Amino acid sequence: MAIFLRESDINGLASMDTAIDAVERAFRLQGEEKAHIAPRRRCRMEKGMLHLMSASLPPLGYAGLKSYTSVSGANRFVVLLYEGDGRLAAVMEADRLGQLRTGAASAVATRFMAREDASRLGVFGAGGQARAQIEAICAVRPITEVTVYSRTADRLKEFCRETAEATGIGVVPAGSPEAAVRGQDIVVTATTSAEPVFKGEWLAAGTHINAVGSNFLTRREIDGETVRRSACVIVDSLEQARMECGDLALAAREEAFYWEDARELGLVVVGEFPGREDAAEITLFESQGVALEDVALAAEIYKRALEAGTGEKLPF
C-alpha cells in the first residue's frame, strides 16, 4: 500500500548528507547510461504554470515524477514514486526535498570540479535554495567564510544570521555584487534574475561556479564572459539544458559558448570527462534541476520511512 509523506516527515527522514549520497549515486548511473530522464514540460494555467518532469533508475528499482505549480508567486511541489513493478510506492510533499536535491547536485559538482582547498564561498540569493546551497557546499569543501549578496537588503541580514547559526560558519552580507565574487573560490547563483548578477571579469582564476537559477530561456544569472572564461562547462542534462538554460543559450547566441563543449555531470562522476584539469581553471556547473535527482532522493526517503514506520497509508 502506498504511503503519503508530509514536509515534516521529509525533514525527519532526510539530511543533506543523505541527499548528496543519493544524488551522486544517480549521476553515476547517468554516466553509466543506466538512468533515464524526461525533461521538464510546462503548461500554462490561468494565473501561472504547471511543471512536470520524470525519471527512472532501473538498477535501483524506482521511477517517478515531480509535478508542481507556480501560481501568483507560490510554488507547490509533489513527487510520485513508483517501484520497478509499476506500483505506486509513495506520494511526497516536495518543497524541502527539492531544496535538498538541488543543493546536493551542486555539492556533487563541487566535489568533482572545485579545488580541494576551496574555502571562500560567494552566494547570490537569500532564499531557501540559497541556504541549501551553502549547507551542501560546506559538506564537501572546507568553507570558512560565506559572503552573500541579495537585492532584498532587509532580508539579507536575517538570512546571514540564521545561516551562520545553522552552519557554525561565518556568513556575512556583501555590500555589492562585486564583493560576493572578488577573491571567492566558489560562487553560487540561486536567484530568479533575468539579467546577469555579476560580471565575468570579476572572477579569480581557479573559481568554480554553481549556477542554479537559470531554468527558463528568459532568465540569465551569468554573463557571456563568465561562460567564455570557463574551461569546463557541465550540465545535469544536455537535453534539458538546451531547452531551458538561459545562461548557456544566450552565451551561445553571442558565440561565447558552443553546445558541443558541454558535458553531463554523470560523465564527470564516472571519470570519463575531467571536471578540472588545472588549479587555475574557471569551472562552471549549470544546474537546471532534473527529475533524476528527485527520484533518487525520494527512493532513499521512502526506504527510510518504511524502516521508521513513518507515513500515512493511502487507499490505493
Q: How much is the pLDDT for 59?
A: 98
HSE-CB of 307 using CA atoms within 13 angstroms: 8
Main-chain dihedrals φ then ψ at residue 21, nearest 5 degrees: -60, -45
Q: How much is the pLDDT for 73?
A: 84
Q: How much is the pLDDT for 57?
A: 98
Q: Stretch 169-178: mean pLDDT, rounded?
A: 96
Mean of per-residue pLDDT scores for the chain: 96
Identify whether the C-beta of residue 192 lies closer than 8 Å to the C-beta of residue 219. yes
199 among known catalytic residues: no
Burial 280-298 (b: 16+ CB within 10 A, else e): ebbbbbbbbbbbbbbbbbb
Q: Stretch 2-28: mean pLDDT, rounded?
A: 97
Q: How much is the pLDDT for 19?
A: 98
From 34, 66, 199, 303, active-site residue: 66
- pLDDT exceeds cutoff 90 at 154: no
Q: Stretch 93-97: mean pLDDT, rounded?
A: 97
Full DSSP string of the chain: --EEE-HHHHHHH--HHHHHHHHHHHHHHHHTT--EEEEEEEEE-SSEEEEEEEEEEGGGTEEEEEEEEEETTEEEEEEEEEETTS-EEEEEE-HHHHHHHHHHHHHHHHHHHS-TT--EEEEE--SHHHHHHHHHHHHHS---EEEEE-S-HHHHHHHHHHHHHHHSSEEEE-SSTGGGTTT-SEEEE----SS-SS-GGGPPTT-EEEE-S--STT--SS-HHHHHHEEEEEES-HHHHHHH-HHHHHHHHTTS--GGG-EEHHHHHTTSS-S-SSTT-EEEEE----HHHHHHHHHHHHHHHHHHT-SEEP--
Q: How much is the pLDDT for 273?
A: 96
Q: How much is the pLDDT for 316?
A: 77
Q: Stretch 125-134: mean pLDDT, rounded?
A: 96
Q: How much is the pLDDT for 289?
A: 95
Question: How confident is the model over 48-90, as pLDDT tens digits?
Answer: 999 999 999 999 999 999 999 999 889 999 999 999 999 999 9
Q: Find residue 83's DSSP bridge partners.
A: 62
Instruction: State the pairing for strand pair 186-189/120-124.
Output: parallel
Q: How much is the pLDDT for 262?
A: 97
Q: How much is the pLDDT for 152?
A: 84
Of 80, 73, 108, 74, nearest to 94 by C-alpha is: 80
Percentage of the chain surpassing pLDDT 90? 94
